[in-house]
Structure 1
Amino acid sequence: MNKNIKRVCFLLILTALTSHLHAQETFVNDISYPYLEKLIATAKKNYPEVKMKQSQVNAAKTTYNQTKFAWLDGFTASYIYSPQSSINISQPTIFKGYQLAIGLNIGQLLKNPGATSVAKENYKIAEYEQSQYMLSLEAQVKRFYFAYLGAQADLRLRSNAVIDAEGAVKQLKYAFQKGETTFQIYNSQLNSLYNQNSFKVQAELAAFTAKTNLEELLGTKLEDIK
């Protein structure tokens, strides 16, 4: 019986060592920086807030261009027509025919440089905010990409752990039926299998969530980006 117990203990130790080797898996080797650049470019192209920032820049630029020519509003032009044959006794005129009159609004002319300066600064602010958002979006895509790879690696780890646990259960079930191990040891491995399956379900959820978060920024499915 002692020999059989040693055999079972060896099996359990071997299972633990195999799980430890799986635990050494890393997602670093899965990182593809060219693919990451494609993800970033896709997000900058599709994400709605990127388009909103560009619209804000365009609006600020339009306002700035309009204020550069707003000084013309300080001038008003009109014309007076005096027929050649008419005689105005109350307001006699020397010139006959069409006469052009130009008015000047000093207040408008003095106000325009300040308005132009403010519009120019607003235009710069819109550009700065756009640049800041692009950097933030790029960093967010990287974080979600790494999180997705990490979740995939963890899912592989959990899947392998389930396979190992299933193998151990089969071996212990056979040993238990032959009377080579106790029900307590066999039941303990069954609980371990249950726990590993539970961890796998959590890892699957984490992987799908990470994929969804990344695709939200991309505006398309990961499978569509080659």
Structure 2
Amino acid sequence: MNKHLKVFCFLITTTLFTNNLHAQETFINNVNMAYLDKLVAIAKKNYPEVKVKQSQVNAAHSNYNATKFAWLDGLTASYIYSPQNLVNQAQPSIFKGYQLAITLSIGQLISNPSIISAARETYKVAQYQQAEYMLSLEAQVRKLYFTYLEAMTELRLRTGAVTDASSAVKQLKYAFQKGETTFQIYNEQLNSYYNQNSFMVQAELATWTAKTNLEELLGIKLEDVK
């Protein structure tokens, strides 16, 4: 077997072994459900939109409680004072002193049940919207967590590929200097090394982007999650 063939066989064997090792990488084994549940709880506590939904529920509830006493708006109280020693010939009255008069708006009394019903339904809608948003937020956190794990797994793969390519370049450089391989084979491996570096940079960007997106929902850094 000539020396060029030996070098070629070495590269093929190394590449196949490396690819087989990297193919076994999976982010599923890194999923921590307890940690994920903690992230969901943190997002539900810190994300501003959660507080907006809660304020809307509180406002709707307060309005509903207020409508229960709306009939009092149609209630009017007044008083008349007739001195004991005053004789009114034009409008004689048998009552002396303070006289209390109370009037009630029938229209207000009749419309009040429908007002209460509408306020109650508005309160329910606010609660339903809050529940819907909580489910949506939880799904978003889980999705971004899985995306982050996937990105980190891809980054590990790309980092390993760069290490392998770098090692192969060093081997070929040594072989090329000794005249055991051609410049073409050495140059091809150099190009592969540069490509792997480019892929690793893209993987780094994807990892930081996924981390940033997840932390936006959490309101804190992942490093601060206890």
TM-score by length of 2: 0.97
1:157 positional shift: 0.3
**Take 1:66 and 1:15, find their aligned partners in 2: how far apart are those partners?**
77
**Take 1:90 and 1:202, find their aligned partners in 2: how far apart are those partners?**
99
Structure 1 counterpart of 2:14, which letter? T
**2:207 corresponding residue in structure 1:** 207
Structure 2 counterpart of 1:155, which letter? L
Q: Deviations over 1:29-83 (max 9, x none)?
A: 1110000011000000000000000000000000000001111222211111111
**1:84 corresponding residue in structure 2:** 84
The CA RMSD over aligned residues, in Å, is 0.9
**2:47 corresponding residue in structure 1:** 47
1:178 positional shift: 1.0
> Is 2:158 aligned against 1:135?
no
Q: Is the 8 A contact 1:151 1:203 kept in 2?
A: yes
Q: Deviations over 1:93-129 (max 9, x none)?
A: 1100111101110111111111110000000000000
TM-score by length of 1: 0.97
Q: Is the 8 A contact 1:71 1:109 kept in 2?
A: yes
**Take 2:80 and 2:10, find their aligned partners in 1: how far apart are those partners?**
110
**1:123 corresponding residue in structure 2:** 123
**Take 2:89 and 2:116, find their aligned partners in 1: how far apart are those partners?**
48
Q: Is the 8 A contact 1:15 1:165 kept in 2?
A: no
Structure 1 counterpart of 2:12, which letter? I
Relative to structure 2, which stretch is displaced further, 14-23 or 162-171?
A: 14-23
**2:36 corresponding residue in structure 1:** 36
**What's the secondary structure of 1:76's corresponding residue?**
strand
**Take 2:91 and 2:64, find their aligned partners in 1: how far apart are those partners?**
45
**Take 1:176 and 1:44, find their aligned partners in 2: how far apart are those partners?**
60
**1:65 corresponding residue in structure 2:** 65
State percent identity of aligned pairs. 69
Q: Is the 8 A contact 1:68 1:116 kept in 2?
A: yes
Q: Deviations over 1:112-151 (max 9, x none)?
A: 1111100000000000000000000000000000000000
**Take 1:155 and 1:23, find their aligned partners in 2: how far apart are those partners?**
13
**What's the secondary structure of 1:84's corresponding residue?**
coil
**1:166 corresponding residue in structure 2:** 166
**Take 2:133 and 2:157, find their aligned partners in 1: how far apart are those partners?**
36
**2:189 corresponding residue in structure 1:** 189
Relative to structure 2, which stretch is displaced further, 74-83 or 138-147?
A: 74-83
Structure 2 counterpart of 1:112, which letter? N
**Take 1:163 and 1:200, find their aligned partners in 2: how far apart are those partners?**
11
**What's the secondary structure of 2:78's corresponding residue?**
strand
Structure 1 counterpart of 2:104, which letter? L
Where structure 2 has 5 or more consecutive residues not aligned to the other structure, the ranges are none
**What's the secondary structure of 1:103's corresponding residue?**
strand
**What's the secondary structure of 1:92's corresponding residue?**
coil
**1:108 corresponding residue in structure 2:** 108
**1:175 corresponding residue in structure 2:** 175
Q: Is the 8 A contact 1:11 1:168 kept in 2?
A: no
**2:7 corresponding residue in structure 1:** 8
Structure 2 counterpart of 1:8, which letter? V
1:10 positional shift: 1.4
Structure 1 counterpart of 2:183, which letter? F
Relative to structure 2, which stretch is displaced further, 3-12 or 55-64?
A: 3-12
Relative to structure 2, which stretch is displaced further, 10-19 or 178-187?
A: 10-19
